[in-house]
């Protein structure tokens, strides 16, 4: 099967949805599909077998795309539409695989070219507008609600990444041909030499320290204010605690460096800036404790899947984005405030054997529920449903009873 994937993101950048797109592409590559990816002119080229990246025309003066909705995305999405139209005029495709708002015009392209449409739903776009301060623009929110409902009622298959989106899809369309495919750890089959971890610890002056590692973006909803306030309490009790912050754009790093200076903990905080995706796993290996202090959101942070796979204990806030897959057996769950977060960190520091058990429980959960094999199986079923015009649930049932479903061409 030949796939036209449309991704309205700066691909590739090591953040949220671009990482999900990256995982989808690797999954389709592993399954033997041929993919033409249409994406913005902004982003880093990556090599994935069977995947060809086609970038939309350059929009002058737009050199980066911030996280979340923005006016700047409008001209980018217009260019993306025409690029997608051009690709469909030139080539024959078996599937249009759209992400986020690209689904709005993918519906039209699907009907025009009579190509099945698979919608990859990473979030509810109207809710995302509200989360990023567009909530006061009610006509825009209502327009997005209308368009999203239209997509969910017309697409051939819809993928979601969590239970909250699954419930929402089935609320809008009880007959949706749907499957939930949770994300998995990034490069969960990668293995680093022990020397690499030792050298990294030395380069960061972490020998003799207790590394507490955060990976991810530095956006406001990530709860870094909670983390650093709690760090002040932890450092007072555990002087060798070292908070290693992996990620953040230069201006964000500069802001938080100033904030930790004000808190008097600058010597106990290390900022690395953004690192390559596979390199970020080294930081998980050197960690004693992992942290996810997020204060808002419904979708599971992508970092959590890598945290689980690492086998290291995690302190996570008690919000739905975490608790839909984490519990007291697989993480230390605390309220999203500095006092409780500090208490959670100190529990792990003072009880390392208990922390090791938490980490092992997390690793076992990752192996059972969020394996690469399970991910590929679900993705394959979604594509088989399109190829054979079947419901995904029927394909699942046929697998369970041992009926052979023909494999892709």
Domains of the chain: 2-184+372-400 (3.40.50.2000), 194-369 (3.40.50.2000)
Which residues of the chain carry a pLDDT beneath 70? Answer: 133-136, 187-193, 396-409
pLDDT tens figures, 31-87? 999 999 999 999 999 999 999 999 999 999 899 998 888 888 999 999 999 999 999
Looking at residue 396, what is its pLDDT? 65
Residue 53: which H helix or E strand, with range?
Answer: strand 51-55
Length, in residues, of the chain: 409
Looking at residue 192, what is its pLDDT? 59
* Sheet with 51-55: strands ordered across: 51-55, 34-39, 2-7, 95-99, 117-121, 157-160, 178-180
Q: SS3 for 72?
A: coil
Contact by Cβ (8 Å): 240, 207: no
Distance from CA of residue 264 to its chain's centroid? 33
- Residues 6+ away with beta carbon under 8 Å from 276: 14
Q: SS3 for 122?
A: coil
Short-list 306, 322, 327, 313, CA closest to 370: 306
* Sheet with 241-246: strands ordered across: 269-273, 241-246, 210-215, 289-292, 314-317, 332-334
pLDDT tens figures, 123-171? 999 888 877 766 567 888 899 999 999 999 999 999 999 898 999 999 9
Q: Look up the pTM and report it.
A: 0.89
Q: Which two tokens stand for residue 151?
A: 């997509």
Looking at residue 402, what is its pLDDT? 44
Looking at residue 136, what is its pLDDT? 66
């Amino acid at each position: 099967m030949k796939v036209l994937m449309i991704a309205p993101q700066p691909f590739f950048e090591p953040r949220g949805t671009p990482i999900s797109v990256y995982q989808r592409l690797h999954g389709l590559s592993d399954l033997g599909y041929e993919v033409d990816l249409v994406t913005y002119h902004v982003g880093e080229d990556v090599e994935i077998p069977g995947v060809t990246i086609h970038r939309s025309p350059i929009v002058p003066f737009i050199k980066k795309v911030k996280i979340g909705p923005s006016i700047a995305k409008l001209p980018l999405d217009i260019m993306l539409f025409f690029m997608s139209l051009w690709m469909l005029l030139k080539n024959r495709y078996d599937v249009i695989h759209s992400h986020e708002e690209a689904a709005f015009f993918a519906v039209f392209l699907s009907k025009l070219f009579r190509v099945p449409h698979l919608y990859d739903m990473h979030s509810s776009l109207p809710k995302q507008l509200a989360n990023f301060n567009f909530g006061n623009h009610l006509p825009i929110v209502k327009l997005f609600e209308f368009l999203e409902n239209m997509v969910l009622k017309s697409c051939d298959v819809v993928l979601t990444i969590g239970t909250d989106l699954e419930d929402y899809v089935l609320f809008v369309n009880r007959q949706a041909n749907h499957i939930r495919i949770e994300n998995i750890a990034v490069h969960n089959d990668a293995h680093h030499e022990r020397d690499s971890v030792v050298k990294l610890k030395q380069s960061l002056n972490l020998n003799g320290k207790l590394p507490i590692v955060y990976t991810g973006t530095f956006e406001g909803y990530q709860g870094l204010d909670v983390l650093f306030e709690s760090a002040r309490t932890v450092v007072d009790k555990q002087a060798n605690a070292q908070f290693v912050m992996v990620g953040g754009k230069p201006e964000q790093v500069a802001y938080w460096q100033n904030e930790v200076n004000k808190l008097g903990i600058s010597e106990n905080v290390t900022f690395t800036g953004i690192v390559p995706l596979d390199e970020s796993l080294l930081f998980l290996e050197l960690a004693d404790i992992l942290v996810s202090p997020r204060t808002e959101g419904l979708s599971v942070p992508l970092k959590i899947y890598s945290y689980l796979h690492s086998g290291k204990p995690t302190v996570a806030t008690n919000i739905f984005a975490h608790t839909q897959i984490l519990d007291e057996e697989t993480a230390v769950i605390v309220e999203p405030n500095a006092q409780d977060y500090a208490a959670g960190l100190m529990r792990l520091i003072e009880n390392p054997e208990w922390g090791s058990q938490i980490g092992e429980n997390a690793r076992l959960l990752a192996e059972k529920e969020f394996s690469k094999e399970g991910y590929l199986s679900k993705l394959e079923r979604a594509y088989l449903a399109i190829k054979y015009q079947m419901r995904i649930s029927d394909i699942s049932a046929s697998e369970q009873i041992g009926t052979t479903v023909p494999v892709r061409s």
